[in-house]
Amino acid sequence: MGTYSKEDILRLVEEEDIQFIRMQFTDLFGQLKNVAVTASQIGRALDGEIMLDGSSIQGSVRVEESDQYLRPDPATFAILTWRPQYGKVARLICDIYNPDGTPFDGDPRNILKRALRQAKSMGYDFHVGPELEFFLFQTDEEGRPTVKTSDKAGYFDLGPLDLGEGTRREVVLALEKMGVEIEASHHETAAGQHEIDLKYADALTAADNIMTFKLAVKTLAQKNGLYATFMPKPLRDAAGNGMHVNMSLFQDGRNLFYDESGERKLSLLARQFIAGLLEHAGSFCALTNPVVNSYKRLIPGYEAPCCLAWSESNRSALIRIPDPRGQGTRAELRSPDTACNPYLAFAACLAAGLDGVTRGLTPPPAVAGNLYAMPPEELAARGIRSLPVSLDAAVCAMETDKVIMEALGPYAARYAAGKRQEWEEYRTQVSQWELHRYLANC
């Protein structure tokens, strides 16, 4: 993203013939929202005078105290490349403020900023590189999404097998024009599945980039007659959509996870951070894996983790340490999925890792073997716990974890209540599977 001042933006709106500016923010449950203002209102918008009715936003304030203000972050100014190029549309990502001028506690961007300030006070910058997976499916005659694809490609395949190549290319080019750096893109394991890896950035920029990325993928897929989904496990017998998160702590531009003389060339700090992630991963699951369907991805056999273990290169583990060292040293957390609210997920992961640092935790021994194939007795003997198996279990774990609840702040209970309601809605459904299994047999 750029480093625009207010003056730059006023000038650009004029010079670039920008007619609309979208003031964007993300609600507590990860939904991107926006209100568009016309170019004539850009001065007011930059001064933080655009209001929203907070009571109409999920997880936000009560109706009696609903006025809130959008304060744009000038650094996030970007032209939406997929909108008309005459009478252009730009966007600004905003923070939400209360009428008394204080930051709103239920604003996910504010929650992440608070966590980053905490890290900074300890001398650390939190860097994050997300790997985003998604499916491109066909739509039916009425334009509704299906789970069908004619694409027959697999991991790293290319056209003509890969029918999503064109859309992927458009996404990458659009994002690069908007200042989002892309590291790599490729076809993933399942037919119709793709991955785009964003270059690591400070966690706030990375979370902003993820929201931009999802919008770009959905919009450009639609333009190409396809439907993009980040649903964690749309197909029972195919790989799900993960969002691996590569994490590291930096200080003055230096990666503190690297230590030439450390075991596996990892620093003590890296090991403590990993221990903190392992300690809290069961409870931040409610944030990194936020929907009922998330837990259908976390099963053996599809390169998604099920157990709380770490490893050097084993893809069945929760945390993997990819090969590069030096400035590229990082811990790859493999549990998150792309349905998550990245601001909350990163705030929780950072709090978890820093708790490991503060308490000087030591991680358990790294596991080399395939965890999917390990019998329950062996897992128990090694003290390897499982990730929660449902959204309900994850929310219960989160509510009892002080570190994660504090990282979320006053709106943690609101988040948990929203997720519990989602679970109740699911729990009280009678599914096709149940009818098939029990109707005749009971």
Would you say 286 and 416 are in contact if contact means Cβ atoms under 8 Å apart? yes
Would you say 226 and 164 are in contact if contact means Cβ atoms under 8 Å apart? yes
Nearer Cβ to ligand GLU (77/137): 137
Cross-strand pairs, 97: 69, 103
Q: Which of 296, 297, 414, 419 binds ligand GLU (CB under 6 A)?
A: 297
Residues 165-204 as x/- pattern, contact with Mg ion by CB under 5 A: ------------------------------x---------
Given ligand GLU, Mg ion, none, residue 392, with its beta carbon under 5 to 8 Å by kind, binds: none
Interface with Mg ion: number of residues (CB under 5 A): 1
303 is a site residue for ligand GLU (CB under 6 A): yes
CA–CA separation, 161 and 157 (whole Å)? 7
Given ligand GLU, Mg ion, none, residue 157, with its beta carbon under 5 to 8 Å by kind, binds: none
Mode of pairing for the β-strands spanning 88-97 and 67-72: antiparallel
Cross-strand pairs, 96: 70
Q: Which residues, 124 to 163, sit near ligand GLU by CB under 6 A?
A: 133
Closest CB 242 distance from ligand GLU, rounded Å: 3
Cite the active site residues.
53, 131, 133, 188, 195, 244, 315, 332, 334
Nearer Cβ to Mg ion (241/267): 241
Dihedral sign, Cα of residue 332, residue 335, residue 340, residue 343:
negative
332 is a site residue for Mg ion (CB under 5 A): no
Tokens of 290: 């936020």
239 is a site residue for ligand GLU (CB under 6 A): yes
Interface with ligand GLU: number of residues (CB under 6 A): 10
Q: Which of 206, 304, 367, 371 binds ligand GLU (CB under 6 A)?
A: 304
Given ligand GLU, Mg ion, none, residue 303, with its beta carbon under 5 to 8 Å by kind, binds: ligand GLU
Nearer Cβ to ligand GLU (106/242): 242
Site stretch for ligand GLU (CB under 6 A), options 202-210, 212-220, 297-305, 322-330: 297-305
CA–CA separation, 161 and 69 (whole Å)? 48
Q: Which of 257, 302, 310, 423 binds ligand GLU (CB under 6 A)?
A: 302
Site stretch for ligand GLU (CB under 6 A), options 102-110, 213-221, 300-308, 420-428: 300-308
Closest to 229 measured CA to CA, from 254, 199, 267, 192:
192
Footprint of Mg ion (CB under 5 A): 195
Footprint of ligand GLU (CB under 6 A): 133, 239-240, 242, 297, 302-304, 315, 334
